[in-house]
């Protein structure tokens, strides 16, 4: 994310003008925007112009024409929705900009896309907002890992970033039986499928930028695919122009992403050059549900050990291990976590970013204060993305959990009443 200019103080008011570049940035921007903020961006508005009548006047006899014009509006935000598939944010609010085309106070929806400037103005920039902005604008806040989940006749490509897992493309091929008369076409169908998978990888995954490409799946499909790729690389030569891969007759389904607008120009030579970045591992299927088990494998964990996604997965695993082996030193739920924090017992706080999307400013401040208090006391705070597999798992257990410095068996076993107004937003409509 590019920060064009900023004028705010932590704990005070102000604004920032930024340009989101990719899916990660759009997710961070979605979490920055809240009700009662001001959002300014270029938008389009449908305007109806009155026609001229037969007598030269503009009476009812004339025709009316409508056109879409481009205007720059600032709105007082009333709602924010996120479209993960299209990587777009829709900000609805009341217009606060004087313009001949949109009345003051009229409702308008800003459609925010990547690579378009946006200005966000807040009456209060709290710790969570500032930390999120700083992280999003750092060079490390990009997709860390690409994952190819493959089985015979089916492949799915994902980019696993620090906060977002984006589905890039699905490749399918109807495979004939290996035996009988249909078996004569099996090898040709498999080669076509491999061509399309490799073409999708070279189109959707920038091998220069990613940390590693994980090829995973059940059975031997992954080994067969990589062996085919290696043979193709040797056949064409790493520097041959004919190393470009052309697709066959497979069915491909593409998810519209920011990368689609800037596809990397890659060939088999690029694949061969970065072959050492490719690791393979086993998983139970070629569907999205297998992503978590892929990222948890020892081989992959070693490759992505210093990424945000890996640290969150590890922290969540430690919590569940502690909950199983030392149940008096792990708890979850708002009431129990707040009670443990009052005793200074929280060593590691795990909280989902959905909690901070609470439209009630006072309730949000309580969540922010909790994270600040834990950090000030020397604890570690992990803010999980609800668009990530680990964040979704945390959301299933209320969206907040903690491991403790010392045992609190009485607190863990106690049935505490819920804290009024702090039910959280661990899972909401935007993530369904």
Percentages of the chain per state (helix, strand, coil), in multiples of 5: 35, 30, 35
Q: Give the strand pairing for 154-160 and 145-151.
A: antiparallel
| Domain stops at, among 89, 114, 136 | 136
Q: Is there a contact between 250 and 192 (Cβ–Cβ < 8 Å)? A: yes
Average pLDDT value for the chain: 84
Verify that 237 and 358 share a domain, yes or no: no
Whether 34 and 121 map to the same domain: the answer is yes
What are the tens digits of pLDDT across the range 224-248? 999 999 999 888 764 444 445 554 4
- Backbone φ and ψ for 354, nearest 5 degrees, come out as -60, -25
- Position 85 pLDDT exceeds 70: no
Query: What's residue 257's pLDDT?
Result: 41
Token pair for residue 47?
Answer: 């305007």
Do 228 and 85 lie in a common domain? no
CA-nearest of 318, 315, 325, 185 to 249 is 185
| pLDDT at 431 exceeding the cut of 80 | no
- List the domain range (segments joined by +) for residue 234: 145-305
- Same domain? For 300 and 156 the reply is yes
Q: How confident is the model at residue 96 (pLDDT cuts 50, 70, 90)?
A: very high
State what percent of residues in the chain have pLDDT above 70. Answer: 83
Same-domain pairing of 75 and 171: no
Q: Domain check: are 185 and 290 in the same one?
A: yes
What is the torsional sign of CA 253, 255, 260, 263? negative
State what percent of residues in the chain have pLDDT above 90: 51
Helix (H) or strand (E) holding 33: none
Maximum mean pLDDT: which of 74-88, 147-161, 356-370: 147-161
Q: Which of 254, 272, 305 corresponds to the end of one domain?
A: 305
Same domain (yes/no): 201, 100: no
Q: Report the C-alpha gap between 347 and 318 in whole angstroms.
A: 12
Beta strands in 218-311, from DSSP E residues, in sequence order = 251-254, 278-282
In terms of domains, do 202 and 263 share one? yes
The residues with which 224 forms a beta bridge, in sequence order, are none
Q: Let me know whether 82 and 106 are in one domain.
A: yes
Domain end (from 284, 305, 326): 305
Count of CB atoms within 10 A of residue 143's CB? 25
Cβ 317 vs Cβ 389: under 8 Å: no
The residue with greater pLDDT, 314 or 358, is 314
In terms of domains, do 149 and 294 share one? yes
Mean predicted confidence (pLDDT) in 31-60: 74
Distance between CA atoms of residues 183 and 56, nearest Å? 78
Top pLDDT among 357 and 279 is at 279
Instruction: Compute CA distances 232 → 59, 195, 221, 238, whole Å.
Output: 72, 10, 17, 9
Q: State pTM to two decimals.
A: 0.67
Of the candidates 386, 375, 381, 379, which has an alpha carbon nearest to the alpha carbon of residue 353? 386
- Token pair, residue 376, equals 């000030």
Question: From the CB of residue 382, how many other CB atoms can be counted at a distance below 10 Å?
Answer: 21
pLDDT band at 3 (very low <50, low <70, confident <90, very high): very high
Please compute the mean of the pLDDT values over residues 85-113 and round it to a whole number: 89
Same domain, residue pair 24 and 82: yes
Asked if residue 333 and residue 293 are part of one domain, the reply reads: no
d(CA 386, CA 389): 8
138 three-state secondary structure = coil
The CATH code of the domain that includes 199 is 3.30.420.60
List of residues 6+ apart from 302 with CB closer than 8 A:
none
Helix (H, G, I), strand (E, B) or coil at 274: coil
Write the DSSP string, 230-253.
HHHHHHH-TT-GGG-----S-EEE
CA 204 to chain centre: 16
Length of the chain: 432
Beta strands in 255-314 (DSSP E): 278-282
Which residues fall within 8 angstroms of residue 130, CB to CB, at 6 or more apart? Answer: 10
Work out how many domains the chain is built from and give that number: 3
Distance set, CA 418 to CA 332, 373, 414 (Å):
12, 21, 12
Q: What is the CATH number of the domain that holds 33?
A: 2.30.30.870
Please report, for the domain that includes residue 325, its CATH number: 3.30.1330.30
Could you tell me the two tokens for 302?
A: 């070693």
């Amino acid at each position: 994310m590019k920060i064009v200019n900023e004028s705010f103080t932590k704990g005070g008011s102000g604004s920032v003008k930024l340009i989101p570049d990719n899916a990660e940035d759009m997710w961070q921007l979605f979490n920055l925007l809240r009700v009662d903020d001001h959002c300014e961006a270029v938008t389009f508005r449908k305007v109806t112009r009155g026609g001229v009548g037969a007598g030269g006047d503009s009476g009812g006899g004339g025709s009316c024409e409508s056109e879409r014009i481009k205007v720059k509006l600032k709105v007082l935000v009333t709602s924010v929705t996120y479209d993960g598939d299209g990587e777009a944010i829709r900000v609805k609010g009341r217009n606060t900009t004087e313009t001949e085309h949109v009345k003051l106070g009229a409702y308008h929806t800003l459609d925010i896309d990547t690579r378009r400037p946006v200005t966000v103005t807040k009456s209060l920039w709290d710790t969570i907002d500032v930390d999120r902005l700083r992280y999003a604008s750092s060079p490390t806040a990009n997709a860390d890992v690409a994952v190819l989940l493959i089985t015979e006749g089916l492949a799915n490509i994902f980019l696993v970033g620090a906060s977002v897992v984006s589905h890039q493309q699905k490749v399918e091929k109807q495979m004939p039986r290996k035996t009988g008369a249909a078996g004569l076409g099996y090898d040709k169908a498999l080669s076509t499928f491999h061509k399309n998978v490799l073409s999708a990888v070279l189109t959707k995954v920038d091998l220069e930028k990613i940390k590693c490409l994980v090829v995973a799946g059940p059975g031997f499909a992954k080994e067969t695919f990589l062996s085919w790729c290696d043979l193709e690389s040797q056949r064409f030569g790493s520097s041959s122009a004919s190393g470009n891969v052309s697709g066959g007759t497979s069915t491909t389904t593409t998810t519209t992403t920011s990368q689609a607008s800037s596809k990397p120009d890659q060939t088999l030579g690029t694949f061969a050059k970065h072959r050492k970045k490719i690791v393979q591992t086993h998983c139970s299927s070629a569907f999205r549900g297998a992503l978590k088990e892929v990222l948890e494998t020892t081989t992959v964990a070693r490759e992505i050990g210093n990424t945000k996604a890996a640290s969150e997965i590890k922290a969540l695993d430690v919590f569940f291990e502690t909950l199983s082996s030392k149940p008096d030193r792990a708890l979850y739920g708002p009431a129990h976590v707040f009670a443990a924090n009052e005793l200074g017992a929280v060593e590691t706080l795990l909280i989902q970013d959905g909690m901070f999307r609470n439209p009630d400013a006072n309730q949000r401040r309580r969540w922010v204060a909790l994270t600040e208090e834990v950090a000030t006391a020397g604890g570690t705070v992990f803010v999980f993305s609800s668009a990530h597999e680990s964040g979704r798992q945390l959301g299933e257990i209320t969206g907040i959990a903690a491991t403790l410095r010392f045992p609190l068996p009485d607190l863990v076993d106690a049935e505490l009443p819920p804290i009024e107004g702090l039910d959280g937003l661990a899972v909401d409509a935007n993530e369904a």
